[in-house]
Chain A
Amino acid sequence: MGIIELQNVSYADGDQTIIHHVDLSVTAGDFLTISGPSGCGKSTLLKLIASLISPTSGTISFNGKNQNDYDYPTYRQQVSYCFQQPTLFDTSVLDNLSLPFQIRGVPFDENKISALLQLVDLPLTFLDKKIIDLSGGEKQRVALIRNLVFPPQVLLLDEVTVGLDTRSKTIVQALIKNVQHQATTLIQVTHDETEIAAAAHLIEMRQGALQK
């Protein structure tokens, strides 16, 4: 049995059905890649798995237990979603990187953050930067490490390398590799040709359904 299991999951918004009867089993430690045309429902699928929205019908389970039987914040800490075009919140980079500590009620650990920043090629002085002063690629990298301060069991990546220059992209891809080696289960959505070519386990999505 997989770490994440979707059984006959559908999602409708009003009378528009966005996800149609999806069955999916993701094995622990797997690195699953999902691709498909724009608007086919990839982001919606990840948000369902992250419990940011709930299926209209069908069930999603995590470690054999129904999503709804978990405490929702605890669940989202373990099944962590990184948005397509993420935005940073509040004022500074520090605000963003200290939230994971606040959420868990533990004191801010500067060494840990320093190491993470280093992984995405950013200096520790970045903590004091105002978020409006960051470039797009820098924002994307800061957003991604927010999800990794406390490594989740499952990481959901929604086109996190889109719009990055070659250098930022290489850095982020290396980080993702690194995360995979730490036994985190990964589900990524991508349009990127090289990422699709390198995918160990690829699923195509069409109009709200997964292709077999």
Chain B
Amino acid sequence: MAKKPSGSKRPPKKSAAKKKSKTQRMPSLRAPADTLWLMYRKMSEIRLFEEQVWDVYTRGLMPGLAHLYIGEEAVAVGTCTALRDDDYITSTHRGHGHCLAKGGQLDRMMAEIMGKEAGYCRGKGGSMHIADMSVGILGANGIVGGGFGIATGAALSSKLRNSDQVSVCFFGDGASNQGIMLETVNMAAAWDLPAIYICENNQYGEHTPYQAVTGVEDIADRAKGLGLEGVIVDGSDVLAMFDSVNQAVDKARTGGGPTLIEAKTYRFHGHHVGDAQTYRTRDEAEWWRTNKDPIKLLSDYMVDNGVAKQEELDAIYEQVEREVLNAIEFGKDAPLPPPEQAYEDLYA
């Protein structure tokens, strides 16, 4: 059995020396203070939720597989913080983070992951298929690249309905090699659809390094050939994500067409819980955990800029932890669906 994930405790604290800087206010923050708090809270929520999923999986409390988002929190949170409730996203097999960031509820997500009737999909979908249409989550997806058509179609729908809703497609470096990316992104570019393609380049598709199967170093480079703007962002920096997505959203809402944003990131865990990770070195993973933990980077920023005291951040973290634990209890206590429900929901 694998060790308890590192980062399973709260992110490392600021050193006392650096803390002093909180008194010298920076001239301007990269995002309003309340937005920073919100992003810190959301990222903590995702981190703590995923740690609990690890635990729930390891204790055999959930069926199926669990693909954890730990390490990539800044991508989902930076992106979704720039969106409205009525904007759309499509997510992936590694979707818990996207769904939480877009407004998914901890308890109904956990119930779904455990296969319970109270879950978002009434136990029919599980971890890889969480959806909440009421907040624009058009669904996680078990098919790599499965979100391209749906997200682009939602963007087309906005345009046809004269709505200013935008549509975000999250996809991996692996998914970027699916042919449907070319087909759909081309249409978005040709027709100026309000779509934003967020490539989460965590450098591996399952066990294969993306460089081994991908002709370009930067997936954002493909944007040029497809006729849209391509941007590379540090996916561990939630503020950089927020900034880029804000620009893309402004453009999309005002008829300026799609953007492709490549977030350079890393999954701190294996492809799924239980993956032995023979395809990468411990040092590599450790480097990312030490230097690129998105939650630590944000909390450092908040402390350095006098937005927060470390104790305040810790208090939030603990509060979120209690909420997550409540969601686990909710999931555990919720009843399994009765077998006859298998026959419901097929046709409208």
Our verdict on whether A and B bind, yes or no, reads no
Chain A interface residues toward B at CB < 8 A: none
Chain B interface residues toward A at CB < 8 A: none
